[in-house]
Structure 1
Amino acid sequence: MTPVLDHIGIAVAALEPAVEFYGNMLGLGEPVIRLIPELGLRLAFFDNPHGPVIELVEASGKTELRHGDVVVALEVEDLDAAIAEYRARGLKVYDQPQTPNLPLRRGWITKGGGHGTVIELCQRGEVAAFVRGVRP
């Protein structure tokens, strides 16, 4: 198993000013907005066909993310195998099921287990398909 970078998530205090900064000031363009009320999340994805997606995360629900935290999302070929392998290596990996507005199952390694960084495990191609409004 060799994971590759899928996307970077950045925790923001408020989505609108962050979208203005990343989209207009940094020139990333218009984001795709996704609302995930069941998890208390508002997300903005800057889809880059030549590189990783940049995701802004405004969280109002229970989360360990604080303004400025970064989530490193790794794309894996087989999510079940990746979760099992990391658990076998002694990591505590959470398995997050799909929700009505976020139809992606993902694995998570918290800041405590990820040396201060949240690590997200994503099935290959699923995040890009979600951002683009298509399912693989």
Structure 2
Amino acid sequence: MTPVLDHIGIAVAALEPALEFYGSTLGLGEPIIRQIPELGLRLAFFDNPAGPIIELVEASGKTELRHGDVVVALEVENLDAAIAEYRARGLKVYDQPPTANLPLRRGWITKGGGHGTIIELCQRGEVAGFVRGERA
């Protein structure tokens, strides 16, 4: 198993000012906004077919994310195998089931297990498909 970078998530205190900064000031363009009320999340994705997606995360629910935190999302060929392999290596990996508005199953390694960085494990191609509206 060799994971590759899928996307980077950046925790922001408020989505609107961050959209102006990333979209206009940095020139990333128009984001794709997704509301995930069941998880207390508002997400903005800057899709770049030539490189990784940049995701802004505004969290209002219970989370360890704080303004400025970065989530490194790794794309894996087989999510079940990746979760099992990392658990076998002694990591505590959470298995996040799909929800009504975020139909993606993902794995999570918290800041404590990821040396201060949250690691997200994503099935190959699923996040890009969700962002681009190719998944319900």
Q: Same fold (TM over 0.5)?
A: yes
- Deviation of residue 135 (structure 1)? 2.8
Match of 2:126 in 1: 126
TM-score, with structure 2 as normaliser: 0.99
Aligned length: 136
Structure 2 CA distance for aligned equivalents of residues 57 and 130 of structure 1: 15
TM alignment of 1:100-111, pairs within 5 A = 100-111=100-111
TM alignment of 1:1-136, pairs within 5 A = 1-135=1-135
Letter in 1 for 2:135: R
Structure 2 CA distance for aligned equivalents of residues 65 and 43 of structure 1: 13
Structure 1 CA distance for aligned equivalents of residues 33 and 25 of structure 2: 18
Letter in 2 for 1:5: L
Residues 11-49 of structure 1, C-alpha deviation per residue, up to 9 Å, x if partnerless? Answer: 000000000000000000000000000000000000001
Letter in 2 for 1:86: Y
Percent pairwise identity: 90
Structure 2 CA distance for aligned equivalents of residues 128 and 5 of structure 1: 12
The answer to whether the 8 A contact 2:103-2:135 is kept is no
Structure 1 CA distance for aligned equivalents of residues 135 and 102 of structure 2: 12
Q: Does the residue aligned with 1:64 lie in a helix, a strand or coil? A: coil
- List alignment gaps of at least 5 residues for structure 2: none
Structure 1 CA distance for aligned equivalents of residues 64 and 13 of structure 2: 13
TM-score, with structure 1 as normaliser: 0.99
- List alignment gaps of at least 5 residues for structure 1: none
